[in-house]
Structure 1
Amino acid sequence: MRLITFVFFTLFILALLAHALPQPEYANKMSAVLYDSLQDKYYFYGVNPTRKIYPASLTKLIMALAIYEHQATHLHKKIFCEGINPETQKKLTNEEFVCYEFHNIVGLQAALAYSCNSFFKSYIENTPAKSLQKDFKKLGWSISLPDKVSLKQSWRIFMGVDQRSMISLTDLIKVLRKITAHKYFPQLYQALWIGREQGTTSLLKDKKYLGLIGKTGTKIISPHQIEGIFAGWAPEENPRYYIVVHVADSRGKDLPVIFASEILKKHL
């Protein structure tokens, strides 16, 4: 009798775990951390929520805040962005986000909304390594850089393909918390909202994603190893939850978002 009870209990637990996460073929490659700011409590999901990852485009969140903080020339600078096509540009109505003259020329908020690599690359190449390191450390992201960093090396570091920029999912949550407390967070959040409405995270427009808002990243380690990342907040009006999701071997940026929404449903 005890054996039968144990078997049924085990099957019940396995069924709950299987139901908790979508797309089981990827479930063993997903890691996530969710933080509830009202309860001051962390929740861990997946195979290795304490793992360190290559942050990819998530570094742009800190670079954007650094640009605001220093009132850098890039705050108003317009620069060529390879990631926006003319048809997408025509859908933009607010002048602040328009790619000027439909020639893929963007300012800071549009650059963040569309994850414009060229814009942030230009910022990195014109900012001393020590200053960049200090900005990251201020927001809880410690990286080790030599005094002199070549442009190529600097680019690799801050686009998250260098060992120096790796960070754990738990520490990324702490970074998100500090970002939220930053005085320029409203401007950053507005850019992410634009990114959700018509930029790189437009998947989140669907109401089934529960007002989730944030930034995706895709890191190609090799042709056969692709990592997808999502970091964000919910609900959008008054963020209570902070979530970071990493999926190894993720084909595209959407899968981490899907996992994030499924995890969020368990708490809303």
Structure 2
Amino acid sequence: MLEIEGLTKRYGATLALDDCTFSVAPKRLIGLLGPNGAGKTTLMRCLLGLVVPDGGTIRWSGGPLGEDRGRNFGYMPEERGLYPTMRVDEQVRYFAMLSGMAPAAAGRATADVVRRVGAGDLSGRRVEELSHGNQQRIQLAVALVHNPEILVLDEPFAGLDPLGVDQFGALLLDLAADGTTVLFSSHQLDLVQDLCQDIVTINHGRVVLAGELEQLQRATARRRITVVFAAAARRNWTAALDGVTVEKAEDRHVRLSLDAGGDLDRVLHAARTAGPVLRFDYQPPSLEELFREAVGR
């Protein structure tokens, strides 16, 4: 278990982290969310020991992180951290030795991890010759070569095409299934919703939403309703319904949000009196809706 408690960091007059507290369970995919400038990168750098917090504690497996935390963590920065003219195998082996591996062990680990990320046929090529997606694979191989328990990724999907996103996402799911805790930041909320079991949302340096995504969706009072009619429905059929907000209304398609004061049975009855109903979907809010609500508070 990774536990962050009361983490605070100030840069002059700017409070980058303000009493951040949350925990990360092992073998999970965790999405780290927040607007630009919210404090996500500062938080990741504190986890890695690249930035010293002004206050708070970081614990792993019940104990404090020491100076050798690099052996527990793998890090993939948003900006490239690779040497463009080095061959892939030389590059990954070099970073393996920087983590403390002996040359022979580093060579074996390099071969294994390059295959694991699906880049075995790229070992002899220079990084500058690779596509953006394949460079991402090599950057991930560098972060994984020392077999870390926690993988921290800063915007790993930035710039990838849809196929690259699918492949990279599947790889992260496999890593989590094999025992690695994966924490990654992203502005692609639909992608985070598809991949992650847990989320942490930061705004102005504070944690405003954290926990298992499904539990957070169940806990909110607001729900979304989509109604599809077989023909054009009677207009203004929702006017007398309490706790209902019309988000979108067309002749046959209506999208509503239902708050804690709304009655689902009354909504369904009103829809049926407005016209023949083909579909009536009742869904929890999406991650994007949860995010907007949390950040807007």
Q: Structure 1-normalised TM-score? A: 0.28
Q: Which has the higher strand share?
A: 2
- Greater Rg by CA: 2
